[in-house]
Amino acid sequence: MSELTIKLIIILIPGVLSTLTFGKLILHKEWSSFRFTLYSVLFGIITYLILQIIINLLNLISIFDIANLTIWDNLNDATSIPYREVIWASIISILVAFIAAKIENNKIINKLANQLGISGKYGDENLYSMFLNSKEVEFIYLRDIKNQLTYHGWVKSFSENDNISEIRLSDVAVYNYGDSELLYEIAEVYLSLKKEEIIIELANLKEDE
């Protein structure tokens, strides 16, 4: 591994750190290597640009006299590694990831596009994740068609892959699917079911109370 390659890896640390943090804070399917690399480069550039803007502002208001980032000028110089800039950029990268996750989780871009009539898309996740992630969804009926059971409880957590839907419920009442006869009650249950074999309904809270 050449010295230049090592320098590029070190310079990309803020972008990788921001991408990993962003990925932990949002719902998403597994990223390809290309997409992860693309996000890392994009977040890295944004992070260094923000650091440069901060330096320019500090110089403008004459609080500090700080030189511009050396990363822009010495990119091809394998012997010059701006460790201090990488450390500051890494700190900023966490904040960038938080802001990006806030924008993604609140669907700010999609809501703005909807208001402007540009797009009717609600986001990148599928309807299963969008529905269960909604603030209105707390108490649900989950109908297991194959096993002829209905689960009634609070949604604590959920996940999915291409074939299986996983969900964790608390304060659960289990009913017979056909005649809604109460079979038993349990404090918590974990279910892993095929997507085509379940129906999820939003429960009426007034009725439950």
Q: pLDDT tens digits, residue range 153-203?
A: 998 888 777 678 888 999 999 999 888 899 999 999 999 888 888 888 887
- Inform me whether the pLDDT recorded for 209 exceeds 50: no
pLDDT at residue 137, as a whole number: 75
The CATH architecture annotation of domain 127-208 reads: Roll (2.30)
Average pLDDT over the chain, rounded to an integer = 83
Q: What is the pTM of this model?
A: 0.64
Count the Cβ atoms, other than its own, within 10 Å of residue 46. Answer: 19
At 81, which amino acid appears? I
Closest CA relative to residue 96, chosen from 49, 28, 55: 49
Backbone angles phi, psi at 11, to 5 degrees: -65, -30
Position 125 confidence tier, pLDDT thresholds 50, 70, 90: low
User: Which residue spans within the chain are E strands per DSSP?
Assistant: 139-144, 149-160, 164-176, 182-194, 198-202
Domain ranges, ordered by start, for the chain: 3-113, 127-208
